[in-house]
Amino acid sequence: MNTIVDVPELRQRVHVFRDRIQAGEILAEMLAPHSDPTSLIMAVPAGGVPVALKAARRLKLPLDVAVVSKITLPWNTEAGYGAVAFDGTVRLNHALTQRLGLTQKEIRRGIQETREKVRRRFTRLREARPFPKLEGRSVILIDDGLASGFTMITAMEALRNAGVKNIAVAVPTAHLESLRNIETADRIFCANIRSGMSFAVADAYQHWSDIAEEDIIALLKNTAAPDGGTE
């Protein structure tokens, strides 16, 4: 597995970030020594956008979004058994679907509903901005944290499909096992690594709330860069 760059004094701690903005500042400090001026930062919405925006501004790199959404359980919209990416890439946690006894009909319905959600969000967040050219590029993929890691893995697969040459995953917080599951990343940056039976991304933050699509649009508005990214 690739070496994980972390902040040793933040290991196994909770409430280490004031909010997503401060988390983005810390990630920017971690990324700075390794930053390539030709890289593109891509945020996983919703929570990854404010983190990535702060990092992009500090590193003076263009910013765009990699729209991915987890496929949620019929009876619990907070829990997922897979994910769908902006290019239609689907990944399923087959062990979980079998353990939960999900039928093929339920799975197909979940995939279709999530595809529609991703298409709608992709169109709404991009507005008139063209999708960036990714062939041969280096991308820093940012989210506000990794729990299972399925969403990040799916986003990485979609970026590889688009021809991205190098992918650095950068997250403020993650479970150690989830970081081990994203071994296909070329580089991994995570400030706050935790392990154990219980893990929630929100526990790394002192102030945590869901982010509406309107808020994401407001953050991204009027930041279009010439290459189709944002800055």
Q: Which pLDDT tens digit goes with each residue over 172-185?
A: 999 999 999 998 89
pLDDT digits over 129-167, tens only? Answer: 889 999 999 999 999 999 889 899 999 999 999 999 999
Which of 56, 61, 54 has its CA nearest to residue 137? Answer: 61
Which of 195, 214, 159, 199 has its CA nearest to residue 49? Answer: 214
Model pTM? 0.91
Please give the Cα distance from 225 to 231 (Å, whole number).
Answer: 6
Please give the Cα distance from 51 to 48 (Å, whole number).
Answer: 5
- In the chain, what are the domains? 4-220 (3.40.50.2020)
Please give the Cα distance from 37 to 60 (Å, whole number).
Answer: 8
pLDDT digits over 165-214, tens only? Answer: 999 999 999 999 999 999 889 999 999 999 998 899 999 999 999 998 88
